[in-house]
A and B are shown apart, each in its own frame.
Chain A
């Protein structure tokens, strides 16, 4: 069955530190898509990135970077030089192409960036 694990429930860092949020997934499908979303206190989900199972290239977007490794079924997210505005809950999620196509979310990691 499909599953997304985020082992870190809560992380606290001091501003300007780098932080990596871990995500490990399980899937029965050969074609799948991985996502990261940010959920600030308002509750609205903010899309960060989407990756398909055939594209293992790492990606960098400003202070954000993602490391996708199929061999370990991981899709980790790193924030460089963290800022207080990065404080939020971050969800890793999976969509399987051939099974429903709904999002399966990980439990989330609450990141607190302290000034």
Chain B
């Protein structure tokens, strides 16, 4: 089946540094990828929708200058948390949509990246 990978699986960084998280579709092309955030003991909330070759669409309350999204190819989207602070510590999960199939039929989640900001 389709596989979506995320790298790194976990990261610890100091406050004020930037962290890049990669989301890759391994055996399909993904025109659209979604980034979700999950705080401890909470649900997953959509942060932004990333479309290949165009600017990402951010959900209300998500700072686009802080969470930079780049979807430069059909198999890779990156989320960069700039000037990370402890309140950004969370579990970040991406999902990728198979461009060749209906969106609701084929969206696959990555395994997630656990970010801890000290």
**Which residues of the partner chain A approach B46 to less than 8 Å between Cβ atoms?**
102-104
B22-40 CB mask vs A (1 if < 8 Å, else 0) is: 0000000000101010100
- The interface residues of chain B, by DSSP majority, are classed as strand
Which among A45, A52, A100, A104 is the interface contact of B109 at CB below 8 angstroms?
A45
**Which residues of the partner chain A approach B111 to less than 8 Å between Cβ atoms?**
42-44
Q: How far is the CA of A103 from the CA of B32 in the complex (A)?
A: 13
**Which residues of the partner chain B approach A105 to less than 8 Å between Cβ atoms?**
43-45
Interface size on B, residues (CB 8 A): 21
Min CB distance, B10 to chain A, in Å?
A: 10
By a beta-carbon cutoff of 8 Å, the part of chain B in contact with chain A is: 32, 34, 36, 38, 42-46, 49, 91, 93, 95, 97, 103-104, 107, 109, 111-112, 114
By a beta-carbon cutoff of 8 Å, the part of chain A in contact with chain B is: 33, 37, 42-45, 47, 52, 91, 95, 97, 100-108
